[in-house]
């Protein structure tokens, strides 16, 4: 059962995969054309070895899911990655009542509190316009699956032309095919030689510091990520600007989501596990940390395409 198509959650090698119908094309790109993917509409239950299984929106990226499992009246929900903020590029998080809730905690510290996303897009717009006045291209790094498309759904395309790195363009076309409305883009490789000084260029973080950047001349660099909440994260990447926009729940949203489940037992995984476990335990819940192989918001694999 695959919650979504990010590389730290979708791994090849299984004989069969169960995943949300909305994300099957993204998942096929990750797992290969020959992968045996069984697409399941949100909310439709199936029986697996006596357990009723259904997938429900997680609000993380297109096709992201929570997994609900029920047997003999006992209900568990595995959240996968999720956020509660509105996002026009994917179905909204659906609170599910359960006895045990397995939650991510990527940003499970009280310091992580997101500003309203409208404010973040205004910051991006102001940076873009300022760069135009200085004759610089605006090179914005964002994860190619999910974050880049969320940026394209939120930016004002009247400010200037928008170009994409190949890894971003490939996945953006999958979103468009799924009916998601996004700003118009042109693949950098198809643009030819031109004046980039009015452009917004979307690229994955892996493109930072590579020869691919040289074609744009003078640039200002920015990065869209929840990690930009910590100033040191921006300095370590040698970026001009950081914009705090995440596809994960912040601290208040984690607490809200957990409370909405009504669960007495909470398993915490994938991030700052122990601070969240401590807080939940102090509130009287049965909470425990569960270690996973991958921790935190990952740069995606397979982003070398230009």
Assign residue 189 the CATH number of its domain: 3.40.50.10710
Whether residue 302 has pLDDT greater than 70: no
d(CA 139, CA 165): 10
Residue 16 binned pLDDT confidence (cut-offs 50, 70, 90)? very high
Structure tokens at 223: 């990065």
pTM over 0.75: yes
**For residue range 70-116, what is the model confidence (pLDDT) as tens digits?**
999 999 999 999 999 999 999 999 999 999 999 999 999 999 999 99
Domain span at 84: 17-112+247-290
| Cα separation of the two ends of the chain | 31
**For residue range 128-181, what is the model confidence (pLDDT) as tens digits?**
999 999 999 999 999 999 999 999 999 999 999 999 999 999 999 999 999 999
* Claim to verify: residue 123 and residue 226 sit in the same structural domain: yes
- Output the pLDDT for position 305: 37
- Output the pLDDT for position 7: 81
- Output the pLDDT for position 81: 96
**For residue range 39-79, what is the model confidence (pLDDT) as tens digits?**
999 999 999 999 999 999 999 999 999 999 999 999 999 99
**For residue range 258-299, what is the model confidence (pLDDT) as tens digits?**
999 999 999 999 889 999 999 999 999 999 999 877 655 554
* H/E segment holding residue 19: strand 17-20
- Output the pLDDT for position 231: 75
* Claim to verify: residue 263 and residue 148 sit in the same structural domain: no
Closest CA relative to residue 40, chosen from 29, 59, 27: 27
* Claim to verify: residue 23 and residue 69 sit in the same structural domain: yes
Q: Judge whether 10 and 150 are in contact, CB under 8 Å.
A: no
* H/E segment holding residue 147: helix 147-154
- Output the pLDDT for position 189: 92
Neighbours of 71 (CB within 10 A): 13
Residue 234 binned pLDDT confidence (cut-offs 50, 70, 90)? low
**Does residue 202 lie in a domain region?**
yes
Residue 235 binned pLDDT confidence (cut-offs 50, 70, 90)? low
* Claim to verify: residue 60 and residue 93 sit in the same structural domain: yes
* H/E segment holding residue 129: helix 117-133
- As for how many domains the chain has, the answer is 2
- Output the pLDDT for position 190: 92
DSSP secondary structure string for all residues of 189-212? HHH-S---TT-EEEE-GGGTTSGG
* Claim to verify: residue 152 and residue 269 sit in the same structural domain: no
């Amino acid at each position: 059962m695959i919650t979504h198509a990010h590389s730290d959650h979708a791994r090849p090698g299984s004989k069969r995969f169960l995943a949300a119908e909305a994300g099957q094309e993204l998942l096929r790109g990750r797992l290969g054309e020959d992968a045996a993917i069984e697409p399941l509409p949100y909310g439709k239950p199936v029986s697996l070895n006596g357990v009723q299984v259904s997938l429900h929106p997680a609000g993380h990226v297109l096709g992201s899911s929570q997994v609900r499992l029920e047997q003999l009246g006992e209900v568990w929900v595995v959240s996968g990655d999720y956020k509660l903020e509105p996002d026009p590029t994917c179905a909204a998080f659906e609170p599910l009542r359960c006895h045990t809730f397995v939650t991510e905690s990527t940003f499970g510290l009280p310091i992580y509190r997101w500003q309203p996303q409208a404010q973040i897009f205004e910051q991006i717009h102001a940076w873009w316009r300022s760069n135009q006045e200085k004759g610089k291209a605006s090179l914005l790094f964002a994860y190619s699956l999910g974050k880049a498309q969320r940026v394209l759904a939120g930016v004002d395309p009247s400010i200037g032309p928008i170009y994409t790195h190949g890894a971003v363009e490939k996945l953006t076309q999958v979103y468009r095919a799924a009916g998601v409305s996004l700003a118009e883009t042109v693949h950098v490789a198809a643009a030819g030689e031109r004046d980039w000084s009015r452009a917004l260029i979307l690229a994955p973080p892996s493109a930072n510091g590579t020869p691919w950047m040289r074609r744009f001349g003078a640039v200002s660099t920015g990065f869209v990520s929840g990690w930009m909440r910590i100033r040191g994260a921006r300095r370590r990447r040698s970026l001009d600007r950081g914009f705090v926009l995440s596809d994960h729940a912040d601290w208040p949203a984690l607490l809200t989501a957990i409370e909405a489940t009504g669960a007495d037992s909470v398993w915490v995984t994938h991030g700052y596990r122990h601070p969240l476990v401590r807080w939940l335990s102090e509130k009287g819940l049965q909470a425990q940390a569960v270690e996973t192989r991958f921790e935190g918001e990952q740069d995606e694999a397979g982003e070398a395409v230009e």
